[in-house]
Structure 1
Amino acid sequence: METTVDAEVVIVGAGPTGLMLAGELRLAGVDVVVLDRLAEASTESRGLGFTPRTMAVFAQRGLVDRFAALDVALRTTTRGHFGGLPLDFGVFAAACPAVVNLPQVNTEAMLRGWVADLGCEVRRGHEVVGVTDTAAAVEVQVDGPGGRLGLRARYLVGCDGGRSTVRVLAGFDFPGTPATLELFLADVRGCDIRPRFIGEWLPGGVAMAAPLGGGVDRVVVCERGAPPRKRAEPPAFSEVAAGWHRLTGEDISHGRPVWVSAFGDATRLATEYRRGRVLLAGDAAHVHLPAGGLGMNTGIQDAFNLGWKLAAVVRGRAPATLLDTYHDERHAVGKRLLDNTRAQGLLFLGGAEIQPLRDLIGELTHHEVVHRHLAGMVSGLEIRYPVGPGAHPLLGLCVPDLPLEHGAAATSVFPLLGAGRGLVLDLAEDESLRRSVRPWTDRVDVVTARLVDGGSIPKVDAALVRPDGHVAWAAPGGQEELSEALGRWFGPRTAESRE
């Protein structure tokens, strides 16, 4: 017998993308149910740390300190790579550092604690078997421990990975190219493996290794010409050890695997991130070679872009057309991601015939403009959304964590974004600007402060910062009234303030 439970938003998938989205929606008071087909949280950790842009996402919500509560120390760095060619994110002086060698299970545990504190319900052992968009709502059929369950939601978001059930049931197109090779990944104990953090090119392919702590090493085996296989279960560790031996001549067969996985270089991108009341985020919307660990990061950033917009629509503060900007902004990022990882795959996995190209690009990275371009691409710091007219250099970019004096207190920009609301920074004590914001103060905070040290940041007297940290209006250089930008991103002014 079916029962019906109403929720404003149903999220399918309790990985980093789904949990990030759930937290964003709960910050705005949206009723959320998260479903996951696994009875227990996964112990596999495909992602190892996060990029500077994702570090900024966590900092903007005050989540970084939650790792310490889990007794997890964050190892940060300004170093990265593009297809194995070293890069330095320090070329962006105000950027957050990257976090490395942090297993994904720790990131998921942090996010689970956050959403639990926000009152979000996660239902495990629930598998979606039917999706119907009625235009008025989305009806979701779920097989769970108690039998068949019918959920009726205003919106459904598929965050359920590269083999997304939601994407298939809702009829999204997912074009691209199939895998051309198979690669192995394993976390293994009891092996004294020489670290190869960004990979070592060898005659037969590429070997990567990184110590994770506690006597565990991550190994990745990339043999050229290894054909893709359809597997019903993960490969045996003996296959990984054999491949490692063929590449390096080293014997790791005595190791004790924590977990083992196989993956490929399939590249696919959903043609649309939204179909009516059904949306996609993370790997459900895009799959690619996991070059540079960008998959989890992109999914978290998808959720960060979508969460406040979906909350505004659900709460009736903005029209549903605001959700179109989620597709417009993040689909472009997804396409860029696929191009980026394809290029990295050629550099990283290609044979001797690619060496002249590696040498040339490596030479070009010594030029600052090229170095900044590639570092911005793999760090997420280059992302600039088409937010509206204006000429200020910060427009559309993620706001830096500028140091501020607010009254007698010292602060910075990121802590002011912790509630997931819009933010107007008044850095020139402009009373007319503050008056312009009053009709939106139920959704937007106004902070008058003094910029302590702008460093290399372009001159800015005022800025409108969206809940996802991107600058939507800035002065000097704004080519529209602040009220127009507020209306575009935060909906109509409150009724009592209309003239």
Structure 2
Amino acid sequence: MKDVLIVGAGPTGLVLALWLTKQGVPVRIIDKSAGPGETSRAMAVQARTLEFYRQLDMADAVVAAGYKTPAMNMWVRGKRRAQVQLVDAGADISPYPFVLVFPQDRHERLLVERLRALGVEVERQTELLSFEDKGDHVVALLKHQDGREEICEALYLAGCDGARSLARHQIGSGFEGGTYKQIFYVADVEASGVDPAGQAHVALDTSDFALVMYYGQANQYRLIGTIRDERAAHPETLTFEDVGQKAINGLGIKIDKVNWFSHYRVHHRVTDHFRRGRVFLLGDAAHVHSPAGGQGMNTGILDAINLAWKLTAVVKGQAPDSLLDSYEVERQAFAHKLVETTDRLFTFATAEGSFANFVRTRVAPIFMRVAYDIERVREYMFRVVSQTMLEYHDSPLSEGKAGTVIGGDRLPFVRFNGQDNYASLSAITWQVHVYGTATPELQTWCDRHGIPLHAFAWQPEHAQRGLARDALYLLRPDTYIALADPQGLPATLERYFSVRGITLAA
């Protein structure tokens, strides 16, 4: 019996399998498809995802395989109205201060290879038919390609099986929300005349828009937009010829070849329960939203990382079952917030009517050009898109405040003297940071409990990022701040773990 049965081998399921396997938790991962997707909608790998990929020594490989988009150009009715520079947009926020384009199909293949290197193979053409939560384990009925059925037992089941999730249906969790009336299309094309080449472009017209993204291969672009008017009434017959050409023509580009074309409706929904007993929902099985801002795939990956360290602690007997309840508390709140944000962006981009057209084509480009020249606005925009702004202040695992840093915050990223404070975050473990001087008593306590203590000589840059001198910052295995104690007392650490029933190595 494996500890965790993972249903679905998209990025969410693959990342969950990687993190659990890395931490010594046996998994089984199945998918009813024959192989990784050959097409993809998701294009961006955000900075927060790359920060977590350091924990698997995978960030550099993803960055090398992807493409750093240097700029985003905004076009209106055939004229470029604004250009936003994206190179090092978040230089003071993250070790990965850029927008990385890495199509999901290539991303999935890299994750599969990494999982295989750890000795785990995705079981393809294997479908989940049903399951039953027995209280102390889950019994699942699987169906193989040849029609053979199999009983599989696991301590936990993770439903990473997409928006039509069987896992979600069977636990009876609702999926409230709605569906936008527009039909989106996505196409992989070979194009000429893109200027500047190698940059991203968004073209707006009164009744049309198109997003063109370059991903590092000569003349290869991903094209995204909406299909409107009467053509959208019969989606089953749509081809690339049905795509509105106003915005595309406004860019002055020529589509030389369409390698593949797909269309889909966009939903905005969040499930009622991210956890029911021994069953968890992650990624699109738990939440779906518009593609605005490139958040979907990254959100599912962060679901997996949030859950993985908690499952590991419970499976290994280092924490009570109640620790797993914090998964729903933390991730459901963020999913609701994300859906609201992307809904506003999507509505703005696709709204119809003369006033909406005026705002979108006249006001927005001016605002974008002026606002992005203001450093604080530029940093704020990067934080939102990169998910480095995500916090868990209302989590039962978050406690205390030191400086302006609060329990539940992402650890502020600080560069100083040619180095930074994120090097230790490559480890998947509880750890303590002190900026200034750590007391001998704190060092003794950390040594006794097997928690790494990282003390950084105090720098003015630390204060600029809101860190308090000589304070204690306890980091969770997913690098969020669990506890901030301005006094830096070992007793505070002792109480934190004791109250939550979490045990540490002696």
* TM-score above 0.5: yes
Q: Return the alpha-carbon distance in structure 2 between the equivalents of residues 35 and 326 of structure 1.
A: 22
1:489 deviates by: 6.5
Structure 1: runs of 5 or more not aligned: 1-5
Amino acid in structure 1 at the alignment position of 2:477: P
Contact 1:182/1:226 (8 A) holds in 2: no
Amino acid in structure 2 at the alignment position of 1:376: R
Amino acid in structure 2 at the alignment position of 1:24: W
Choose from 196, 204, 208 the match for 2:207.
Answer: 204
Aligned to 2:409: 397
Between 49-58 and 313-322, the greater mean CA deviation after superposition: 49-58
Matching of residue 8 in structure 1 with residue 3 in structure 2 = yes
Are the structure 2 counterparts of residues 230 and 129 from structure 1 closer, same or farther at C-alpha, using a change threshold of 3 Å?
Answer: farther
Matching of residue 463 in structure 1 with residue 473 in structure 2 = yes
Amino acid in structure 1 at the alignment position of 2:277: G
1:325 deviates by: 0.9
Deviation readout 1:205-228 (Å, 9 max, x if unpaired): 211112331432211122445686
1:157 deviates by: 0.7
1:172 deviates by: 1.6
For residues 427-442 of structure 1, what are the structure 2 equivalents within 5 Å? 427=435, 428-438=437-447, 440-441=449-450
Contact 1:185/1:260 (8 A) holds in 2: yes
Aligned to 1:141: 141
Aligned to 1:30: 25
Between 193-202 and 15-24, the greater mean CA deviation after superposition: 193-202
Task: Determine helix, strand or coil for the equivalent of 1:181.
Answer: strand
Contact 1:185/1:262 (8 A) holds in 2: yes
Aligned to 2:221: 217
Contact 1:52/1:379 (8 A) holds in 2: yes
1:400 deviates by: 3.9
Deviation readout 1:75-126 (Å, 9 max, x if unpaired): 2659799xx9958684671323233332122322332222222222311111
Are the structure 2 counterparts of residues 468 and 132 from structure 1 closer, same or farther at C-alpha, using a change threshold of 3 Å?
Answer: same
Contact 1:422/1:467 (8 A) holds in 2: yes
Aligned to 1:171: 172
Task: Determine helix, strand or coil for the equivalent of 1:98.
Answer: coil
Aligned to 2:432: 424
Q: Return the alpha-carbon distance in structure 1 between the equivalents of residues 501 and 202 of structure 2.
A: 45
Are the structure 2 counterparts of residues 484 and 228 from structure 1 closer, same or farther at C-alpha, using a change threshold of 3 Å?
Answer: farther
Aligned to 1:93: 92
Are the structure 2 counterparts of residues 265 and 64 from structure 1 closer, same or farther at C-alpha, using a change threshold of 3 Å?
Answer: same
Contact 2:320/2:501 (8 A) holds in 1: no
1:136 deviates by: 1.6
Identity %: 27
Q: Return the alpha-carbon distance in structure 2 between the equivalents of residues 41 and 131 of structure 1.
A: 25
Q: Return the alpha-carbon distance in structure 1 between the equivalents of residues 449 and 122 of structure 2.
A: 33
Task: Determine helix, strand or coil for the equivalent of 1:266.
Answer: strand
Between 39-48 and 218-227, the greater mean CA deviation after superposition: 218-227
Are the structure 2 counterparts of residues 493 and 292 from structure 1 closer, same or farther at C-alpha, using a change threshold of 3 Å?
Answer: closer
Amino acid in structure 1 at the alignment position of 2:355: E
1:230 deviates by: 8.3
Are the structure 2 counterparts of residues 413 and 485 from structure 1 closer, same or farther at C-alpha, using a change threshold of 3 Å?
Answer: farther
TM-score, reference length from structure 1: 0.85
Aligned residues: 476
Aligned to 1:3: none
Are the structure 2 counterparts of residues 125 and 67 from structure 1 closer, same or farther at C-alpha, using a change threshold of 3 Å?
Answer: same
Aligned to 1:482: 493
Matching of residue 379 in structure 1 with residue 368 in structure 2 = no
1:477 deviates by: 6.4
Aligned to 2:68: 75
Matching of residue 57 in structure 1 with residue 67 in structure 2 = no
Amino acid in structure 1 at the alignment position of 2:68: R
TM-score, reference length from structure 2: 0.83
Aligned to 2:42: 47
Amino acid in structure 2 at the alignment position of 1:202: D
Q: Return the alpha-carbon distance in structure 2 between the equivalents of residues 423 and 225 of structure 1.
A: 56
1:485 deviates by: 2.8
Contact 1:87/1:375 (8 A) holds in 2: no
Deviation readout 1:248-305 (Å, 9 max, x if unpaired): 4489997433322212231100111111111011111111111111101111111111
